[in-house]
Amino acid sequence: MKKILLLSVLLLFFSAVSVVAADKSITAKAKTAGISQTAPRRLALVVGNSAYRYSGALANPARDAELMAKTLKGVGFKLVGDGAQTDLSYVSFNQVVEAFGDMLHEGDVALFYYSGHGLQVAGENYLVPVDADIKKEAEVRVKAVPVNLLFAKLDGIPKAVNIVILDACRNNPFARSFRSAGGGLASMNAPSGTLVAFSTAPGQVAEDGSGSNSAYTAALAKQIQEPGLLVEQVFKRVRSEVGSATKGTQTPWENTSLTGSFKFIDGDALSLKKAALAKAGDAKKGELEALLRMEEEAALQKKREQIELEHKAAELARLDAQISEMKMRLGSGTASGNDSLKAMVAMVQKREGQVKQLELLRQQRESEELKRQQEIEQLKVAAKEKRRAAVDADIADYQTVADSPYGKDLVDAAWQSLVGNYPIAAEVSKGDVATLRKAVVEGKSLVELVSGELVAVPGGCFQMGDAFGEGSSNETPVHEVCLNSFFIGKTEVTQAQWRQVMGGNPSYFFDCGDDCPVEKVSWNDVQNYLKKLNTLTGKNFRLPTEAEWEYAARSGGKQSKYAGGDNVDAVAWYAKNSSKKTHPVGQKEPNGLGLYDMGGNVWEWCQDWYDPDYYGQSPRNDPQGGASGSFRVNRGGSWGGADVNARTTSRYRNEPRDRYDDLGFRLVLTSGQ
């Protein structure tokens, strides 16, 4: 096995030289917030594999790795490749492990993080590259990366602190072909000076997560940034947080042979922001300094108030204990003169007064916290206005050059100079000052402006169709459908987003505002929008299939009557509560995936041709709808429809050319694109 790995590394040595050389240039001179100049070097390899080619893509690992890379950089770690290594092949995976091992020196703090498929065979754990096509159990040893390879690298470094984090306990994707493969990962003994952390207990399976990150990685990234915690305390907190988030179905676990102590952050949590301030350019320093002062003051005040609350709560607990003791003495007949009726009255009154004081203190704290947050928000608004004024002045200068008959030879240079002041607008087309201005003022990239926020939908199987017996015949028979992971718009496409791409606004309710859904768009109109959007962003946005739409509306295929629960008024704008018009997106409650307005507001176009009898012949895997037809599918109901139309299984249709004031859409992006 070692010969095979060595040969793989040698064959691709020259392609790795630049990465390894860059990482070997690390010095201990850099000072990071909360870490002294004499602290050991901190080195990390962060890997996230999502785009599996033969075993089904995972929604979260690549994003988990990006989050962990950002978090570790923030607390002073240097990363192999200067960032998360995502979607690694077998050769690339071995390559970065070798590079990581070559970088380590005596006394280093070495951290390895992996998110993706992991499996065990005969008690040994393996991490699965994205190009692994494993048909037999024996192939694992030559197509997956053994965790023991990493341990061999770490075991040879003296006086080191090693942390190995495996968020890799998902279902074995090749289990049907194996004789002995167990669920989850096997227990393993950590090399000397090493802590090994699993996202769940040995032999158990962890969840990929329904949000943007797995429950484990989200909790870990949060706790790493808490100052003053020993590494063991960090993982203890993670265990508690994940247990609560998964309702006890997932319990993280660690095996440690650490002999020394290690903290991700020593000292004040605000030191990270101070480090960011030190690196900021002059244009941002004033804004950051003001925010930092206010947040620092808010943190100190919150801490003082919390201490006072805890003191009052402790007094109340002591008084409760005294009352309990008195009750026991009275019940057992051992009461003394101190247990007189007057003494009881005094104790009860004292307790009543303390309860009132505690409640008043809590109310005051909530009020002060609200006031502080409002002040911080006002400062952010002021900073936004400052950005607006600055970019308007720069745009005016650019426009002066562009509009002058003597500036035609300088227009390109003027635009490059303008964009150079605002890197967030780097992808904006030359001369599009309106989009550049919006990007700078809103602090959003071009892709974020025109596509809105996307939500990851993990793949899976579900029973598609009406299981409540409330729909029409076109919602039956209920049948199993299996889908790959994808991303879907958090909200319907808005009028602002349509205008950003198409330059106009076809909506009947145009006076509703930028945040209202675009409507009066035909299926054909949407296809034109998608072409322009994809050209603009370099992505491959599309409409959802009918199956994807229902799976997402039902929070990953759960039995949900409406998208977000059984109370239609809480989740949807429809005939009885809409006042006969559309409303800004995101005002109703979201569903379990954080998606808004999947029911009501506007009907949403799907990609499929409509066939009322399609469910009786639908394929199990990734159905695409009828092969042809006269109508395209609509889903979700609208502001003018009855509540029955807002159900998650309701189906409707329109001709591709139809434009109505209750027809809109939301975007989908296939995972990995």
The closest of 29, 63, 30, 26 to 46, measured between CA atoms, is 63
Q: Please tell me the predicted confidence (pLDDT) of residue 624.
A: 94
Residue 642 pLDDT > 90, yes or no?
yes
pLDDT band of residue 645 (cuts 50, 70, 90) is: very high
User: Exposed, middle or buried, 407 (CB in 10 Å: 0-12/13-18/19+)?
Assistant: middle
> Rounded to a whole number, what is the distance in angstroms from the first to the last CA of the chain?
34
CA 369, chain centre distance (Å): 26
Q: Collapse the DSSP code of 280 into the 3-class scheme (helix H, G, I; strand E, B; otherwise coil) and give the result.
A: coil
Q: Please provide the size of the chain in residues.
A: 673
- pLDDT (tens digit per residue) in 357-380: 777 777 777 777 777 777 767 777
- pLDDT (tens digit per residue) in 513-563: 999 999 999 999 999 999 999 988 888 999 999 999 999 999 999 999 999
The closest of 129, 38, 50 to 76, measured between CA atoms, is 38
Q: Which run of H or E residues covers position 607?
A: strand 603-609
Q: Which residues of 424-436 are buried (b: 16+ CB within 10 A; e: fewer)?
A: bbeebeeeebebb
CB 607 within 8 A of CB 589: no
- Token pair recorded at residue 422: 């605002």
| Mean per-residue pLDDT, 103-129 | 88
| Mean per-residue pLDDT, 14-29 | 33
CB 586 within 8 A of CB 595: no
- pLDDT (tens digit per residue) in 83-106: 999 999 999 999 899 889 888 888
Return the axis-axis angle of helices 495-502 and 523-537, rounded to nearest 10°: 70
The closest of 450, 449, 448, 475 to 464, measured between CA atoms, is 475
Give phi and psi for 320, each to the nearest 5: -60, -40
Q: How far apart are CA 83 and CA 73, in angstroms?
A: 8
CB atoms within 10 A of CB 666: 28
310 vs 58 pLDDT, higher one:
58
Q: Please tell me the predicted confidence (pLDDT) of residue 305.
A: 64
Q: Collapse the DSSP code of 222 into the 3-class scheme (helix H, G, I; strand E, B; otherwise coil) and give the result.
A: helix
Q: How far apart are CA 631 and CA 460, in angstroms?
A: 28
Residue 32 pLDDT > 50, yes or no?
no
82 vs 588 pLDDT, higher one:
588
Q: How far apart are CA 88 and CA 49, in angstroms?
A: 6
- Non-local CB neighbours of 3 within 8 Å, separated by 6+ positions: none
90 vs 250 pLDDT, higher one:
90
CB atoms within 10 A of CB 503: 9
Q: Please tell me the predicted confidence (pLDDT) of residue 414.
A: 86
183 vs 382 pLDDT, higher one:
382
- pLDDT (tens digit per residue) in 319-352: 667 777 766 766 666 666 666 667 777 777 777 7
Q: Please tell me the predicted confidence (pLDDT) of residue 330.
A: 63
Return the axis-axis angle of helices 61-74 and 215-224, rounded to nearest 10°: 10
- Strands 42-48 and 85-86, sheet pairing: parallel
Q: How far apart are CA 155 and CA 153, in angstroms?
A: 6
Q: Which residue has the tokens 């949807």?
A: 572
- Non-local CB neighbours of 325 within 8 Å, separated by 6+ positions: none
| Mean per-residue pLDDT, 582-588 | 95
Highest mean pLDDT among 196-210, 282-296, 605-619: 605-619
Q: Please tell me the predicted confidence (pLDDT) of residue 509.
A: 96
Q: Which of 12-21, 214-223, 602-611 has the lowest mean pLDDT?
A: 12-21
Question: What letter does residue 611 receive in the DSSP assignment?
Answer: -
The closest of 614, 579, 377 to 475, measured between CA atoms, is 614
- pLDDT (tens digit per residue) in 486-517: 999 999 999 999 998 998 999 999 999 999 99
Q: Please tell me the predicted confidence (pLDDT) of residue 54.
A: 82
Using only the alpha carbons of the chain, give its radius of gyration: 29
The closest of 153, 182, 79, 165 to 115, measured between CA atoms, is 165
- Token pair recorded at residue 577: 């509560």
CB atoms within 10 A of CB 267: 13
Mean pLDDT of the chain: 81
pLDDT band of residue 421 (cuts 50, 70, 90) is: confident
Residue 201 pLDDT > 60, yes or no?
yes
- Strands 486-489 and 668-670, sheet pairing: antiparallel
Residue 575 pLDDT > 70, yes or no?
yes
| Mean per-residue pLDDT, 295-299 | 65
